[in-house]
Structure 1
Amino acid sequence: MSATPHKPENPLVNIMVNVLVPVLALGTLSKDPAIQEKLGKAAHWWQLGPVYGLAIALALPLGYGIWFFVRNRKANFFSLIGLVSVLLTGCITIYLWNKDGTVKPGAAALYGLKEAAIPLALAFAILLSHRTPNPLLRVFLYNDALFDIPKIEGKIGADEQPGYAALLWRSTRLFATSFFVSSVLNLGLSLFLFRGFDHTAGDALETYNAIIGRITWMSMLVVLVPAFGFLFMTLHKLVAGLKELTGLTDEEIMLPR
């Protein structure tokens, strides 16, 4: 008796659980109670300081990644991205943090480069993975959770193979472009929100954490909206190209949702 196939993971849920929620949690948990009291603010039990805040924030993508691996016998790409993102954010915070509540200079540039580095690395990874056995286009978009790939490839004969390969390469380049754009927008957003930041102020670490929180939720609009625009553009052009190559309809190419 064959095992029941697992329901495909929702990419949006993956991003929320592995990236957005841990970074937001890091900003909340990393507040130092001693600094809070020094500033005349109430210290709460969940304010653990940067080191313990980082450890707890890392637990969510790490735990999700282990659960996903046990369930599916393969690594979760988003958990890896979440671990890297939270680890970088936490390590930057620990590096910048001074015991008196001030932070070291260069916080804006350092955090902006961190925000730009992850989508930039993804863009290059998508391009470089194209000729590997597991292209990232197939992980994110052109996969058997969305497309009836056996039916599609069954319709593509030897004469259509060059056109099929060219279509996938065009789609890969367009998809990678979305991450290049996200990298530039991430850097610009970080530098914009850090403008006027005084790293010598007594509450600089508090302000720094607040800015990170704003960057995290504002990037949902500033970065994800253009990224989803490119995603749907890539999807539209991919489906149109597949229809032209195979003669199949939208309903035959895409799996029912």
Structure 2
Amino acid sequence: MTTSGQNNSKGKKNNPLFEVVFNIIVPSIILMKFSGPEYLGTVVGLIVALIFPVGYGIYDFIKARSLNFISLLGFLSTLLTGGIALFELNVEWLAIKEAAIPGIIGLTVLMSGFFGKPLLAKVLLNSILFKLDVIYDTLDARGNTQRFKQQITKANYILALTFAFSSTMNYVLAKWIVTSPAGTVEFNEQLGEMTLLSYPIIAIPSMLAMIGIFFYVIKVITKLTGMKFEQMVHSQ
């Protein structure tokens, strides 16, 4: 009974609302409203704002006892943002950094397709959700294995495009909003505004695109295997 409880705890996913609050809303409010000289000041305000996403990242690592590639890049992104601000580097570096993180992910996804091992398949087609043995056996029996691989590779390239969109929009948003020198109250306020706007302008459209890719993959599996959705996924 204890082992089962521990497994459930390890497999429990994070609350998306908490992720938004700790990584976006709270840091944005601190940067925009409490980093002036009458409150925390520019440096302390920035540090306090960054504590929330960094702290949440550490908490998530301890809770999951593992660190995936995406989480690592998010953690590094937060630290780089703090470094650019604290060392008062040119704001151009912020735009470059904002574009680089999703750009690296997108490039990784793209290259995985070129090498015949689409990252999409590893992330989406997992044995926890899908009955992979049944799906692959059915595909093989129908002679559709190669077509399936082609469709998954196509979906993988579409996924890479979503990261390319995110990278481009991150750069444009950073250049458009953050124009004040690092180390100033205005910089902190603009950084908070950029963080807040990045969710509806970039994160939500990217999320919707990924949901669309998921349903596309389901449709491909259904078409090529003749199976219904409930037949290809585990009941629990």
TM-score interval, smaller chain: 0.7 to 0.9
Q: Give the Cα separation in 1 of the matches to 2:23 and 2:118.
A: 27
Amino acid at match of 1:48: V
Give, in angstroms, the shift of residue 234 of structure 1.
Answer: 1.3
Q: Distance in 1 between matches of 2:64 and 2:114?
A: 26
* Paired AA for residue 199 in structure 1: P
**3-state SS of the aligned residue for 2:125?**
coil
Residue of 165, 175, 186 corresponding to 1:191:
175
Letter in 1 for 2:22: V
SS at match of 2:74: helix
Distance 1:53 1:229 in 2: 28
Q: CA RMSD in A?
A: 3.6
| CA distance in 1 between partners of 2:97 and 2:123 (Å) | 22
What's the counterpart of residue 223 of structure 1? Answer: 202
1:205 match: 184
Structure 2, unaligned stretches of length 5 or more?
Answer: none
Q: Tell me which of the two structures has the higher relative contact order, counting C-alpha pairs closer than 8 angstroms and 6 or more residues apart.
A: 2
Q: Cα 1:24–1:182, aligned 2, differ >3 Å: closer, same or farther?
A: same
Distance in 1 separating the partners of 2:120 and 2:15: 16
Distance across 2 between alignment mates of 1:135 and 1:208: 40
Structure 2 CA distance for partners of 1:139 and 1:157, relative to 1, 3 Å: closer
Q: Distance in 1 between matches of 2:235 and 2:181?
A: 53
1:153 maps to which residue? 136
1:45-68 CA distance string (max 9 Å, x none): xx7355676566523212321331
CA distance 1:55–1:220, shift in 2 (3 Å): closer
Equivalent pair of 1:58/1:86 in contact (CA under 8 Å): yes
2 CA distance for matches of 1:252 and 1:181?
A: 35
Q: CA deviation at 1:89?
A: 0.9
Report the secondary structure of 1:75's partner residue: coil
Q: Call closer, same or farther: CA 1:12–1:156 in 2, change over 3 Å.
A: farther
Match of 1:118 in 2: 101
Residue aligning to 1:100: none
Distance 2:176 2:163 in 1: 20
- How far the C-alpha of 1:120 sits from its partner, in A, is 0.7
**Change over 3 Å in CA distance of 1:83–1:20 after alignment to 2:** farther
Going from structure 1 to structure 2, the CA distance change for 1:21 and 1:172 (only over 3 Å counts) comes to same
8 Å CA contact retained: 2:28, 2:193:
no
Q: Please state how far the C-alpha of 1:207 moved relative to its aligned partner.
A: 1.4
Shift of 1:135: 5.0
What's the offset of the Cα at 1:148?
3.0
CA distance 1:52–1:126, change in 2 (3 Å): same
Alignment match, 2:112: 129
Q: Which residue of 2 aligns with 1:82?
A: 74
Instruction: List per-residue Cα deviations over 1:228-247 (Å, max 9, x = no partner).
Output: 23213312221121112211
Unaligned runs of 5+ in 1: 97-103
**Alpha-carbon distance in structure 2 between the residues aligned to 1:55 and 1:117:** 22
CA distance in structure 2 between the aligned counterparts of 1:9 and 1:176, rounded to whole angstroms: 28
Total equivalences in the alignment: 230
Provide the C-alpha distance between the structure 1 equivalents of 2:211 and 2:111, rounded to a whole number of angstroms.
22
Map Cα deviations across residues 19-76 of structure 1 (whole Å, 9 max, x no partner).
8724665566679x9x844xxx2448xx73556765665232123213311xxxx433
- The AA in structure 2 aligned to 1:211 is Q
8 Å Cα contact 1:171/1:234 also seen in 2? yes
The residue number in structure 1 matching 2:215 is 236
Alignment TM-score, normalising by the size of structure 1: 0.72
